[in-house]
Every structure is written in C-alpha cells, then in structure tokens.
Structure 1
C-alpha cells in the first residue's frame, strides 16, 4: 500500500495535479500483447490469499528504495549523461543492429527540455535485460521500419535507457525535489514506453503549461499498436499542441519583427549619427580653416606692418648720397626698376652690396617724401627682399651681401647699369 500511495503521489506531482491521469487502455488490436486476466471471483480469491505477501513485499521494496536512493543519486552525479547515452546506443547496436529509432544522444532532462521548448512529442523507452520480451521488443518494434518512419514524419524525439543504468533513475523532472524516471513514469512492466508532451492545465489557469505523460505503454507491443496509441494521443492533444505551436510561431514572428525594427532603428540611428559626425567634422574643419585663414591674414597684416616699419626705418638710416665735394671713391649706378622706371644714384665705394637693395626697397617711400623721422626697427622681424639685382650683359647677379664692398665689384666702376627683377614667388 505504501508503494501504491507513493506512485499515486508521484504521478500527481509530475502531471501537475490539474487532471486525473488517464488510465492505460488496450485496444482489441493490442490484445495479443496483453496477458489474459482471470475471472473476477478467482481474482478476488487470489488477492485475498496473497495480500499479506504483497504488503510485506511493498514495505520491503519501499525501504530498499529509500535506503539506496542516496547511493543511486551519487552514482548518477558521477556519470556523464552523454556517455551513458553513447554506451546505451553502442550496446543496442551491438545486439540488435544499426537500424532503430533515432535515440537522443544526451540526458533525459536535456531531451525533455528540448521537447518542451520545440513543442514536440517525446517517446521514452525503458528496457530491462532481465525481461524475456526485451529482445523481441528491440528487434521487432524499436527497429521497425514502419515505426521509424512514423516517428520521423511526426518529428518525435526518442530517448532510451536501460533500467540498470543510474541515468534511468536520475532526477529528470523540472520540479523540486526531483523524482526518479521509473517512479515518475510509473513503469511497472518492461519493456516500457511513455509518450510525453506539453499540456495546458485543465481547466486553464495562470499556471504555465508543463510536460505531462500523455500515455503509458507497457509490455510487448507491435509497431502497429504503438502507432495507434500515438494516433490516439495526437487526436486527444494534437489540437492543443498545434495551438501552442501557432502561439509560439506568432511570438517568434512578433519577436523577429521587433528585432528587425530594432535593427532598422539602430541602422537608421547609426546612419544619422554618421551623417551628424561627418557634418560636425566638416563644420569643425571649416571653423579650423577659417580660424587658420584669420590667423594667416592677421600674420600677413602684422608682417606687412612690420615690413613697412622696417622700410621706413631703412629710409631713416640710409646713407646719404655722396655730394660733389666727396673726395672718396664714388660710383654712379643706373637702376631700371621692375615697373620700368629708371633711377640714377651715386654710392660710396665703402658701402656694401646690401646698400643697393636697401636703396631700391626704400625708393618708393623716399619718392613720396613721407615722414620717417620717428621710424624704429621692428622687433622679431626678418626682412626678405622680393627682388633681385643683376647687370644686363654679361649677366651678373649681385646678392644682398653685408660684407662685400661696392669697391670690390670692378664691374660697378665707375658707372654701371643695373636691372631690378621681382622674384616669382614674391610676386605671387
């Protein structure tokens, strides 16, 4: 009785307690796979005579399972679910061949989660090597072309386990504390199969749908019998699963639409930000260029002022033209200026070649008779002449040399004609 109560409590906990578990039914076609039952009087008599033994056996089984549960859980924790699945598959194929249902290569809980997430039916197969029907079940049912094709067409997940493995007794539900697979699925005879799927509570409530055992198949069944049971499950629960799939697809479409809208918004935002960045960089570049132009213009203005100040200072300090009574060496030079004007001036022999350049530079101011009495030499200024002085023939260029005297240049004595040419870069 303790065993019966425990099984009922486990079944209620796994199925959410929302509905009474549907009893396993056997169709007329399945009759061949189910042993015949004794007549009611005989059955009652046997039950009356055997109940003391059944009670003792149930109590001993309950105590044994309670004592061995920690050891089984510890063993299961040490075992890798995928390794167990690989071993189950290798042993199955070694005994029954490579043609069989496509077993999921992983733990039961992982397979159950995939079935829940993808709204697929899950076929759980538990077998025991100690049962005589195991070989025939594996060869004729699990390896059946008809059942393999049916499962494939209906996109059914298949998980298989041997009850001797700890994985078959591992904590494989989403509830806490976890339940054993065998106990949860209420496997009382082997071979055992269970069809599991996502089910909405009845009546509907705020509780989320949960994975529920929709049918249990025990004993030796033919592939046709299994398919009929599957068809019955699909007939009962197919509409609900289809509705859940439609709702999931709708949610996926809405999520995809939101993601596409978010991507489009982010792309548009990035494009706008890029345009704004480029516009900002252009504005900043234009501002920098304008600021640089203003600085350059200001520098040109300052340099022009300093140049003008320097020329006025040169006019003030330019040596006077030697008079007629000057007894030293004097040369008379004729300048043809860049604008075509001709100017004649006398220079002393001890003056430098630079004095020629100073005279040409200062001539426009001297010609205008501007007042340069207060002119001072500008600070932080380096004067550069924008012209070159040379003789016409033979062509000889005279540079603005502070050290070389006019008396050293024999071609300038006692008279010479000089040409003033503006430099190209200076004109530009």
Structure 2
C-alpha cells in the first residue's frame, strides 16, 4: 500500500476488496480513485458491470466506439477442428490423402464463394443495414437467445460502443460473440444435422465452467449478425465463419483484438483458448493499470498539494490581512496621538500667549498704607506661599488672573477658603475646549462670567486662600 494513502483511504480499499473479492489490491485502489473514494458508488458500479449493465458514469463523449486495432500479427487465432474430425485429416494411404485433399478443396471453394456472395450482397443491402437502434438490436438478440438457450454467461446489455468504452475504462477483457445460425456450417449431432452455432450454444456456452470463467474475467457482448448492429460489428472484425468469439483489450493505449476463435469447439477447448489469450496478454492490462494508478496517484497528490497550497496561501493572506489591519490601526492611533500632541502644543502656546496678555491686565499691587487694600496669602499646591495686596474694588477675576500668570501655579485650578469652607467663583478658562487656533482676545471676551469684588466676597485682611490643581 502506497504511503500517500491516508488511514481512511486504506480502510476503504480493504473494505472494497472484501466486498468484491478482487484479489489485486491495486485494482481496488484504482477503482476507488476513479469514483472519488465513494465506496458505495464504486461497489454499485462494480455490481452493474457484473450484471452486464453499462456504467452510469460513461461520458457523453463515449457514445462512439474507440478505434479497435484488428491486426492478425497481434492475434492468437484458433479454428474449429470439428471438420477435421468429420472429413478427417489424412488417416493413411492414398485414399485417405485423396479424401482429405478433396474435402479441403471443397471447404476452400465454399468459404471463398460465401465470402464473395456476402460481399456482393452487402453492396445492395447496405442501405437496409443502417444502424438506427443499436441498443434495440442487442436487447432483442438477448431476449431471443434467452428463449432458446437459457443457460449462458451474463450478456452486456449495451451497445458495442458502450461495451468497448466500459472495457477500456475498467481495463477488462471484452469477449465479443457474433451469432449466426444461417451462416454456420452443419454438423451431424445424433440423429439430426444442426449448425455448429446451435451446437456451440447448447453445449459450450452453456457449460458451467465456461460461464463462471467468462463472468469472472470478462465483459461478454453478443449480437445477431443479421441485425444492423451485429452486421456492422462483423465487418469491423472481418468475421468469415460462425460462430466466432473475439477477445479485445487495451494494449499500448489502443483497443486491440488479441484472440480470435472461429467455429465450434468443446468447453474444454474454449476454456483453454481463453485462458491462453488472457495469460499471454494480461501483462498489457497490468501495465495499463499500473500506469493509470500512478497517474491517478499523481493527480491525487497534486490535488492534495494544490489544496495544501491554497490553504497555506489563504493562511498567509489572512495573516497579511491582519497585519495590514494592525498597521492601519497603529497608523490611525499614531495619527490621533500626533494630532493630540499637536493640539496640546497649540493649547500650550495659547496658554503662554494668554498668560502674557493677562499679566498686563492684572492691576498693580497697592501700597501698604492704602486704607482700601487687604493682604491675601495664597498657598500653592507645591507648598509655596504667595502674599499679594488687592484693593477691595478689585474683582475675584483679577485674583484668578494673578495666580494664573504666576510661573509656579497650575494652569487649571480653583481657589478655596477654609473659614467658611467654600470655593470662590473666580472664573477660569476651560482649555480642554480650545483647539489652539483661537485668538487671545476671543478667549478673554468669551468669558462673561459675573464675579464678585474682593470686598463683596467678604475677604478679610491676611486671608489665606488655597489653590487646588484640577489636573492633579
């Protein structure tokens, strides 16, 4: 068993071999490969072939018969010895020799004259023998044959073209039988004279050993020569005498006539002839099976490699897609960070410009002896204390601007008083709402909060106010 098969495929091959009884495990594997490893369909097709039914999987391109090489150089030819038994080969003496020569001359003249008459008649009857219903011709013959001779091998219930194509596809021997009682020589059988064809059908084709051998090793196709289908086939194989059996099989990729058996014979003779043809030509089918198996395995391996490649390609594409998404997401984050950094830089720059502008707007500190002034102590978040005098008429907004412009004060803050505990509404600028493109005057003018004056806020001299960092 080839290592390329999986455990499941190996199990199917063994099951198929057990079901069909086929000894060659490579044949079992080839059949399963051709049926895409469908065990049920492969078994059903095998049973159909055993029953003589054409394959369901025959291609529409296979309606025509493949070319059959009919070269006598490749054929094993067997002829009937019955005439020799009747007419006799020279048994000794001048009279026996004379009798043999006369009989041989008569048989030669009869055969030559019959062939000439058949050829002449075929010219005038060609139009009448146009094949219009080949399957009907075959089925009609099978029905009539069953009535006369019930015991026989399994007939292939299809056209000659279908039989050839199935034999080629299944790599089996095709046994071709052409039936003709009118064109067959007569022999003495008991008290009556019958044709060789009748004797052959009664005694040879009905033999159990012959039936078993043909059913086990070949496809068996037969037809009446007088029908259009049988007549056409008889001309394609150059049939000259009846009954006639022809064994056809694949050789070097061509369907080839490998054996020709003409005339009546005993069951033992027929079995010996068929076995000899099969034995001498089995190597061609084995070579074709091996070649097909290698081709199928190569195709299967290539298909598996293609699937693996596609899966690998899809996996690589998926990885690349995820990496691309990650790159795009990282680029988006970087752009947002860059935009935020740029916005923060603009806000910082805006703060600096605002502080410079507000520094000029903070009222000057009044002198110590100013009666309307109070001193306020600011405690910054870093622990620094700042003392500054303001007039009582200054607004709390002026206090806010003073702290805002101090270099040690936070940018965003609130001012609280402990006694009583409260937050002074000094007004403040919400920089988180600014983009940094605004002008300083617009920011100052946008703040229209009404704030109290220092006196109205109730601040006392030496008041301690706490500055809380809102960004901390």
TM over 0.5: yes
CA RMSD of aligned residues (A): 5.3
Check if 1:314 corresponds to 2:358: yes
CA contact (8 A) 2:400 2:427 kept: yes
Contact 1:96 1:138 survives alignment (8 Å): no
How far residue 341 of structure 1 moved from its aligned partner, in angstroms, is 2.8
The superposition leaves residues 364-421 of structure 1 with CA deviations (integer Å, 9 ceiling, x where unpaired) of: 27x9xxxxxxxxxxxxxxxx96333444454447473744433389983244654332
CA distance in 1, matches of 2:148, 2:360: 122
Shift in Å at residue 232 of structure 1? 1.0
Displacement of 1:19 in angstroms is 2.4
Q: Which residue of 2 aligns with 1:119?
A: 171
Q: Give 2:280's aligned residue.
A: 236
Q: What are the ranges of 5 or more consecutive residues in structure 2 without an aligned counterpart?
A: 1-66, 89-99, 184-194, 429-446
The CA distance in 2 between the partners of 1:99 and 1:358, in whole Å, is 123
Q: Between 247-256 and 109-118, report the one with greater CA deviation.
A: 247-256
| Aligned-pair CA distance for 1:212 | 0.9
Q: Deviations over 1:253-299 (max 9, x none)?
A: 55656666666666666666666666666666666655654554444
2:79 alignment counterpart: 25
Query: For the Cα contact (< 8 Å) 1:406–1:412, is it kept in 2?
Result: no
The superposition leaves residues 155-203 of structure 1 with CA deviations (integer Å, 9 ceiling, x where unpaired) of x34445566776656xxxxxxxxxx323213345666542111224xxx
Q: How does 1:329-408 map to 2 (within 5 A)?
A: 334-345=377-388, 346=390, 351=395, 355-364=398-407, 386-392=412-418, 393-396=420-423, 398=425, 400=427, 402-407=447-452
TM-score (norm 1): 0.60
Measured in 2, the distance between the counterparts of 1:141 and 1:52 equals: 29
Deviation per residue, 1:229-273 (Å, 9 max, x gap)? 321112221233334444444555556566666666666666666
The CA distance in 1 between the partners of 2:177 and 2:416, in whole Å, is: 113
Take 1:50 and 1:100, find their aligned partners in 2: how far apart are those partners?
29
Work out the CA distance in 1 between the residues paired with 2:382 and 2:415: 14
Q: For the Cα contact (< 8 Å) 2:149–2:201, is it kept in 1?
A: no
CA contact 2:178–2:224 (8 Å) conserved in 1: yes
Please point out which of 125, 149, 162 is paired with 1:64: 125
Contact 1:314 1:362 in 2 (8 A): yes
Cα distance in 2 for partners of 1:63, 1:43 equals 31
Deviation of 1:97 (Å): 12
Going from structure 1 to structure 2, the CA distance change for 1:228 and 1:46 (only over 3 Å counts) comes to closer
Matched pairs, number: 362
Q: Residue 78 of structure 2 aligns to a residue in which SS?
A: coil
- 3-state SS, counterpart of residue 406 of structure 1: coil
Q: Trace 1:18-417 onto structure 2 (pairs within 5 A).
A: 19=73, 21-26=75-80, 36=86, 40-42=101-103, 44-45=105-106, 55-56=116-117, 58-65=119-126, 67-68=127-128, 71-72=130-131, 75-76=132-133, 91=143, 107-126=159-178, 146-147=209-210, 149-151=212-214, 153-154=216-217, 156-161=218-223, 180-187=232-239, 192-200=244-252, 209-217=253-261, 225-252=269-296, 293-320=337-364, 334-345=377-388, 346=390, 351=395, 355-364=398-407, 386-392=412-418, 393-396=420-423, 398=425, 400=427, 402-407=447-452, 412-415=457-460
SS of corresponding position for 1:301: helix
- Aligned residue for 1:413, secondary structure, equals coil
**Cα distance 1:410–1:241, how it changes in 2: closer, same or farther (>3 A)?**
same
- TM-superposed CA distance for 1:422, in Å, is 2.2
For structure 1, the residue ranges without an aligned partner over 5 or more in a row are: 1-12, 170-179, 201-208, 368-383
